[in-house]
Amino acid sequence: MRPEVLNPLFVESEALDGVGPKLKKPLDKIGLARVRDIIFHLPERFVTRRTVGNLDEAGEGEQIVIALTPTEHRPNRNGRGPYRVLAQDALGNVCALTYFGRASYTAKKLLPVGEKRWVAGRLDRYGDMLQIVHPDHVAEEGGDMITRLCEPVYGLSEGLTQPKVASLVEQSLARLPDLPEWIEPTLLAKAGWPVWAAALKAAHHGEDAAARDRLAYDELLANSLALMLVRADNRARKGQPLVGDGSLRGKLQLPFPLTGAQNRSISEIEGDLRQEAPMLRLLQGDVGAGKTVVALEAMLIAVEAGGQAAMLAPTEILARQHYETLRTLAAPTGVQVALLTGRDKGRARESILMGLMDGSIQIVVGTHAIFQDTVNYRNLALAVIDEQHRFGVAQRLMLANKGKRTPHTLAMTATPIPRTLTLAQYGEMDVSRLDEMPPGRQAIDTRVVAQERIADVVEAVGRHIAAGQQAYWVCPMVRDNEMDDNAAAEARFAALRERFGDQVVLVHGQLKPELKDAAMERFASGAAKLLVATTVIEVGVDVPASTLMVIEQAERFGLAQLHQLRGRVGRGSDKSTCLLLRGSSLSETARERLALMRETQDGFILAEEDLRLRGGGELLGTRQSGDAPFQLATLEQITRLLPQAHDDARLLMERDGGLTGPRGDAARILLYLFERDWGVQMLRGG
Ligand code: ADP
Ligand code: MG
């Protein structure tokens, strides 16, 4: 149960003045559903403005406050283009106040012709006209009121404005409860950090490194503590020791020798499985490093020892593909492998459920359907989770309670992250690294091509498939106000199909599952030559015969994501090519990203660069999958503050015997505040 003192923070944002159904939507869109989320929505930066008497005094790109008198409204024509209000300064210089989308309604009200207004915003140039796009403030009186020297700039979504968010933040800050201190007093004093509530207020009101550090530290401490609680709980659980006799593994007829890294990982897993405490191990290996065989060996150990193994995949497509791979590889062993997804209904499903219950099915592959309550195992001994980053710790814990005794867990991820971050993200697990690629892989020839040359690219694809080879075509991610990505993929698909006929297939997230499967199957079997897709193919899809990858508007993807996508090719022994199509106006960062993709294929290097280029605000693009581990701590802060947080968490665990006493109570509040409740729940189990 959440401590009562936190209740004011966990009320919905509607409880704040001025938040109705209309504002609720844009707030939810950027994760500001509750007061708690709003207080942790820290400013991206602060602006300082200068009051100028006229436009001549202001520089382009400068943040200014100025008195302007509107002279003319120019509405957008038939709903397209911006709404412009022309306005004059004291000298008669003209400037346009420009509004896009729904913001134009505000413009009509705020800027009546002939009446002087104080306007705050960034002065820019559009063609030969000066303009301020979406002024931050428009006021009738008192230029001084809006000349606040230092004003926070918040992340917004369509329908939100800076003043609106600032007012919600202020209201939320006024509701801050008095919370006990969870940070070690000596550390707090030494670092010179403010107490929690003061730190929050300071972080919203100006650039304050100490305040930001304290808040980041809180988050890191909560995370370390929760991971340690999970680990402690795991150690106290009884699993079943699994000792295989090698009888099944001996029958495998792998078409290749295992790499040193694969062998090492398998022995590490074998060692864990012998223990009574359940295994909690992460297998980290770049795309194509060969995680699947390692998982198979682990599952065969479980079966040799008389247990069952289940492999959880994040998507239907992947589940199906793993199933095919594992069934083929395991065929010589005589082990029964089954596929179970949410789509299986009726008799087929019943028969699989029976097989799992009576033990005649020894290995099952599937989506989360395999861990539903209605699925019972005779003796589930090992759970393998592919693409770990799509599952939160909480979900993993759910399946820990699935068997009579806690099953061993092997998590696998293809997201290469730097060692320091592995601790932050997977601190509760032991780690095996596949840091060696199977031999014979060729470098992928990566080129950056301007989007205008798309006709040439289509020709190149044509030659490629005419030569009997296969290719992927990835369609861009889509931003607000544009077609959604499925529609974009549909459109591209239609065009390519016109050109290449039914050798082209399409896969995207909204396609009917049967159609998706049929398309994948035609592509995997080689019947179709070109697969047009959205990023659904990002994770795990394995068609070694496909040797060309086209990524449209590559600048819209993060490095980690591009790396994952590119990893779909270069899987066979043939030379592969990756064409990164780029738009015409690239930011400096985007340019750097694409250059890096050309230069290196090392996932760990790309991961570190990805973090550097993102400024550490987002970890490896995990935000897209909805489980970014940190909301506040930046990469720099993680690197600097995590070791201390880790030690402090250990101290709390050891000295205070698992969160007893007043500091233990404070730490419990901290866990709930950062929604590491699953950490607290461990306390009951252990
Ligand atoms: P990932 O780590 O991305 O899941 P996979 O397990 O899908 O990688 O393996 C990628 C490809 O490499 C597969 O086609 C697989 O058969 C092959 N492979 C795996 N291990 C080896 C090895 N030791 N030598 C050669 N090829 C291998
Ligand atoms: Mg894989």
388 pLDDT band, cuts 50/70/90, is low
Ligand lying nearest the CA atom of residue 296: 1
Question: How confident is the model at residue 634, as a pLDDT?
Answer: 82
Residue 571 CA: nearest ligand 1 atom is 11
Q: Is 403 in the pocket of ligand 1 (CB under 6 A)?
A: no
**Domains of the chain with bracketed CATH:** 1-44+157-172 (1.10.150), 46-153 (2.40.50.140), 249-434 (3.40.50.300), 445-600 (3.40.50.300)
> Please, which residues bridge with residue 385 across strands?
312, 411
287 touches ligand 1 (CB under 6 Å): yes
- Band of pLDDT at residue 686, cut at 50, 70 and 90: very low
> Would the pLDDT of 616 be above 90?
no
Q: Is the CB of 603 under 6 A from ligand 1?
A: no
Mutate to test the pocket of ligand 1, among 252, 254, 256, 287 (most ligand atoms within 8 A of CB): 256
For residue 101, give the 3-state DSSP assignment. coil
pTM of the complete model: 0.70
For 325, the 3-state DSSP assignment is helix
What is the distance in A from the centroid of ligand 2 to the CA of 352? 24
The confidence score (pLDDT) of residue 108 equals 82
Quick one: which atom of ligand 1 is closest to the CA of 542? Answer: 7
State residue 624's pLDDT score.
34
pLDDT tens for residues 502-511? 999 998 877 8
Asked whether 384 lines ligand 1 (CB < 6 A), one says no
**410-419, 448-457, 611-620, 643-652, range with greatest mean pLDDT:** 448-457
Helix (H) or strand (E) holding 209: helix 209-236
Share of the chain above pLDDT 70, in %: 90
Element (H, E) at 316: helix 316-330
In whole angstroms, give the CA distance from residue 10 to residue 214: 21
Distance 289 CA to ligand 1 centre (A): 6
| CA-291 nearest atom, ligand 1 | 2
pLDDT band at residue 371, thresholds of 50, 70 and 90?
Answer: confident
* Ligand 1 site, residue 563, Cβ cutoff 6 A: no
Residue 402 has pLDDT above 80, yes or no: no
Q: Read off the DSSP letter of residue 77.
A: B
Q: Sheet holding 308-312: strands in order across? A: 337-340, 363-366, 308-312, 380-386, 408-413, 280-285, 430-434
Neighbouring residues of 24: CB distance < 8 A, sequence distance ≥ 6: 13, 14
Residue-level pLDDT at 539: 55
**What is the tens place of the pLDDT at every residue in 424-448?**
878 888 999 898 888 877 789 999 9
246-275 pLDDT, tens per residue?
Answer: 999 999 999 999 999 999 999 999 999 999
pLDDT of residue 480: 38
Number of helices (H) and strands (E) in the chain: give both, helices first. 22, 22
pLDDT score recorded for residue 67: 92
Beta strand 50-51 with 63-74 is parallel
User: What residues have a C-beta under 5 A from ligand 2, the ion?
Assistant: 540
Q: Which of 252, 292, 320, 576 for mutating ligand 1's site (highest number of atoms within 8 Å of CB)? A: 292
Whether pLDDT at 615 is above 50: yes
Output the CA 375–ligand 2 centroid distance in Å: 25
Query: 23-37, 153-167, 230-244, 411-425 — which is least confidently predicted?
Result: 411-425
H/E stretch holding 592? helix 588-599
pLDDT tens figures, 460-492: 999 999 999 999 999 875 543 445 566 678 889
**Closest ligand 1 atom to 295 CA:** 6
Q: Is the pLDDT of residue 613 over 50?
A: yes
Q: Average pLDDT in the 329-355 region?
A: 93
Given this model, what pLDDT does residue 582 score? 93
pLDDT digits (tens, 9 = 90+) for 214-241: 999 999 999 999 888 888 888 888 889 9
* Residue 509 beta carbon below 6 angstroms from any ligand 1 atom: no
Query: Is any ligand 1 atom within 6 A of the Cβ of residue 617?
Result: no
Q: What number is the average pLDDT over the span 152-158?
A: 88
What tens digit of pLDDT does each residue of 560-588 get?
788 888 988 887 778 999 999 998 888 88
Closest CA to 130 of 122, 138, 120: 122
What pLDDT shows up at residue 486?
Answer: 63
Question: In this structure, which residue's CA is closest to atom 15 in ligand 1?
Answer: 290
pLDDT for the residue numbered 314: 83
Q: What is the mean pLDDT of the chain?
A: 87
How would residue 34 be classed by pLDDT, with cut points 50, 70 and 90?
very high
Cβ of 568 below 6 Å from ligand 1: no
Tell me the per-residue pLDDT of 62-84, one tens digit each, with 9 for 90 and over: 989 999 999 999 987 776 788 99
